[in-house]
Amino acid sequence: MPDTVLEVTALQRTFGTVRAVDEVSFALAQGGSLGIVGESGSGKTTTARIIVGLDRPDAGKVLLHGRDRTERARGRAQRLARARQIQMVFQDPYLSLDPRTSVQAALRETLRLHFPDIDHARRIAELLDQVGLGSWAADALPRRLSGGQRQRVAIARALAVEPAVMVLDEAVAALDVSVQAQVLNLLADIREQTGIGYLFITHDLGVVRCVTDDVVVMRHGRIVESGATAEVLAAPRHPYTRLLLDSVPRPGWDPRQIAAARRAL
Amino acid sequence: MTLALTRRPGLARLRAARQPLYLACLGFVLLVVLAALLAPWIAPSDPNAVDLGNVLAGPSAGHLLGADTAGRDTLSRLLIGARTSLIGPLGVVVFSTVAGVAVGAAAAWRGGWLDSVLSRSTELVFAFPGLLLAILIVTVYGEGLLAPVLALAIAYLPYVSRLTRSLVLTERERPYVAAYLVQGHSSVQICLRHVIPNIAPVVLAQSTVNFGYALIDLAGLSYLGLGVPALTPDWGRMVFDGQTAIQRGYPLSAILPCLVIVLTVVAFNVVGERWADQVARRDR
């Protein structure tokens, strides 16, 4: 069993009367890849926001290398240390980049904050190369780039911090299918090279099958099933997981039957 | 993005739907600014030179736009007067924009009690007529441009701070702000480097509109004899001086400054509104 890098224990978050996240616990192995699957409103995005520190849990802990990071960061040093623990790639690459900031300026800003002493121009070229963008992209503004290219920039920006874990919140959902595959391949390559742990938040079982070792299935804020991706997808134990699998369109697929099964669940 | 600049009722219907009107207004604004900058060199004569032989003269070779009750050249006074008439509103706009953006951004970003305190106190200023505040301050501190400018800056601050607050509230919900937070940037840095530059065009459009209003208000104050000292050429002051000329049947020296004031205000309004429209339509 490899070391655990990220551990989440008994996370809880309620909005009013809605339990968005309820007793969620899981662990991510060093250099591993964990998928969190669920439909809209299952609490997976709230979980992601709590893990990166954009939201705080009502109860429970997020531990990175055994250290708690649920308390609000105090001071600059702690804020930077937190950022180097976990980075995030957001769903919509059209909105997660400042429309006024060029690719180069965005990366330089991050590098200047975290690594003020290195040669920024060289590192930017390295990062762009790592995500499969040429140096031509350096001067481009986000609006000049396609969705896939923007998402690569967002990945480069997350990599610039050299985090231990990267949270990818529906990171390919907004891209069209052929570009999705390219970006997923890129992410797999990066994981191989750097050993960064991935936390994939997604509703897409195809993505889970491609890039994750383990999977956690969430519904109504609770974990209904978890285990190795291959096992869970091959032999789902929980009816909800089976429903999710059946909901993927394919030949002979009957949406009415799915809807009926969903009501019955 | 919802964009609603605060405008006064009479001018609110004035929109630059057509390109020529906007271009004409932009041209007029540039002309006035240029005239103010170059006034000492292009003014045909000393604006305070009294020529009693030409009292209330009509347009002639010596006085292109005639002369006023004291025989002073109207064109020269208009040109030199553009300086005081524009520098005042500029001061108002600069003060109110800087302070308004700071107040609005702080209120929106921090929220909670700070938001309540700042929003309520700016609304209080809103309820108090700006011109009255200015008159009050001028009567306390006496003549001079600084007192009315400061008073009007405070009166105009809520226009800017309210707009900034609502813009920052929408802007901070954009994912790029969350992205920067996750990257470890401090809120202040994100606000200063990214949020404020992104909302700046709209705020500047509001400030351009405010410029026109500040110009009316300051001209009104000068007309009442408050604000600029008696001998300084100023459009509002010229209207006041021209009253007697109208009574004696020679309205030119009073009507011209009125016309310049109205045209300048309308031009600034149209230009500001047009800029706001362009920002709203721009694809992000």
The pLDDT tens digits for A211-265 are 899 999 998 889 988 989 988 888 888 888 888 888 877 777 777 888 888 777 7
Structural contact between residues B165 and B119, judged by C-beta atoms closer than 8 angstroms: yes
What is d(CA A165, CA A87) in angstroms, rounded to the nearest whole number?
A: 6
pLDDT at site B164: 94
Q: Which helix (H) or strand (E) holds A221?
A: none
Q: Is the ipTM of this complex over 0.90?
A: no
pLDDT at site B163: 92
Instruction: Judge whether A80 is closer than 8 Å to chain B, CB to CB.
Output: yes
Classify residue B16 as left (phi > 0), alpha (psi -120 to 50) or beta: beta
pLDDT band for B10, please (50, 70, 90 cuts). low
Mean pLDDT for all residues in chain B: 84
pTM: 0.81
Weakly modelled stretches of chain A, pLDDT under 50: 1
Which residue of B lies nearest to A89 if distances are taken between CA atoms? B179
What domains does chain A contain, in order, with CATH numbers?
Answer: 4-234 (3.40.50.300), 236-265 (no CATH)
Query: Which among A45, A96, A115, A165 is the top mutation candidate for probing chain B, defined by the most B β-carbons within 10 Å of its own β-carbon?
Result: A96
pLDDT at site B128: 82
pLDDT at site B263: 92
What is d(CA A138, CA A105) in angstroms, rounded to the nearest whole number?
A: 8
Confidence check: pLDDT of B59 > 80: no
pLDDT at site B96: 94
pLDDT at site B269: 87
DSSP β-bridge partners for residue A62: A8
- Taking only the tens place, the pLDDT of each residue in B179-213 is 999 998 998 889 998 999 889 888 988 898 899 89
pLDDT at site A114: 92
Which of A80, A84, A99 shows the shortest C-beta gap to B284? A99
Query: Which among B183, B186, B193 is the top mutation candidate for probing chain A, defined by the most A β-carbons within 10 Å of its own β-carbon?
Result: B183
Confidence check: pLDDT of B283 > 50: no
Contact check, Cβ <8 Å, A113/B176? no
pLDDT at site A257: 80
Structural contact between residues B174 and A95, judged by C-beta atoms closer than 8 angstroms: yes
Give the mean model confidence (pLDDT) for residues B218-232: 81
Contact check, Cβ <8 Å, A54/B181? yes
pLDDT at site B1: 43
CB proximity list for A142: less than 8 A, separation 6 or greater: A94, A97, A98, A99, A101, A103, A150, A153
* In CATH, B20-35+74-250 is 3.30.1360.70: no
pLDDT band for B282, please (50, 70, 90 cuts). low
What is d(CA B167, CA B107) in angstroms, rounded to the nearest whole number?
A: 11
Contact check, Cβ <8 Å, B181/A109? no
Structural contact between residues A198 and A168, judged by C-beta atoms closer than 8 angstroms: yes
pLDDT at site B284: 42
